[in-house]
Amino acid sequence: MKVRAYAKVNLALDVVKKRDDGYHELEMIMAPITLHDLIYINRIEKGIEIKTNSFKIPTDERNIMYKVAKILIERYHIPYGVKIQVYKHIPTQAGLAGGSADGAAVLRAMNQMFNLNLSLEQLAEIGKEVGADIPFCIYEQMALVKGIGEKLEFIKSDWFCHLLLVKPKKGVSTKKSFSMLNLKTAQHPDILKMKQGIELSHDHMIVESLGNTLEAPSMKMVKDIEIIKQEMLDLGFDGALMSGSGSCVFGMTQDENILKKGYQYFKNKYPFVRTTKILRKEEEKY
């Protein structure tokens, strides 16, 4: 079986507070994008085998795909194993949820392969045990996301834009980015204004509402984030923002000429440069 694992960007990310359990309370506007990993998954007699074209990700029990496959096999007494071949296109330590997207894709695929008949809600609950972004990646719909990533409120909208993704060589550790955060002095974007802007397809309101509380601490670790962001704005992109905890930066535009100009400008400067767009599920089927 072949499945696509779609990446995401955070159009707005607010770290609201630190919780008693050590996690941080978040409010985010997350959007799936057309950039994806390609996963082939097949039934085998027993065990979990993972192969990948990337040397950067583990293929043992540390891998998110391994973890979710193990849960399903054990919990639902599946009498077989799975062989997973993943072709990575989503970079690691980028803030694009590449690992979570892969985990969600494996959950959906195994649900179908083994006729488990689990609902998306049930798959999201299982995914939450492994990674905070997996519930969002299960649904692949634009959403207002709260808590640590488990509370989803879907946003209905026809809004669309082109995106240019640029990631510097150096990634960002999510844990380190959070540890460097000063909530008193941090930027707190207007999440509800962003939601309203998307619902109204109001480009100006959306651009005005772009913001990411984690951007400042991540910029201290990777200076290129700030440089890329400014260069995108200088090239004429409507807005630019770091996604998640970084280090990938996206530029937004409705103008394909600006998108092409940006791609040509960045393509030989940084190791990862891709054009993509907001995912519309009716357009992108497996």
Residues with a catalytic annotation lie at 8, 133
For residues 5 and 39, is the Cβ–Cβ distance under 8 A? yes
For residues 225 and 249, is the Cβ–Cβ distance under 8 A? yes
Encoded tokens for 277:
């767009």
What contacts 74, CB < 8 A, 6 or more positions away? none
Distance CA 180, CA 3 (A): 37
3-state secondary structure (DSSP) of residue 107: helix
Which residues partner with 28 through β-bridges? 13, 145
> Which helix H or strand E contains 27, and what residues bound it?
strand 24-44
Distance CA 125, CA 185 (A): 34
Encoded tokens for 140:
């692949």
Distance CA 205, CA 209 (A): 6
Which residues partner with 87 through β-bridges? 38
Distance CA 93, CA 54 (A): 13
Which residues partner with 43 through β-bridges? 82
3-state secondary structure (DSSP) of residue 83: strand
How many residues are recorded in the chain? 286
φ, ψ for residue 233, nearest 5 deg: -65, -40
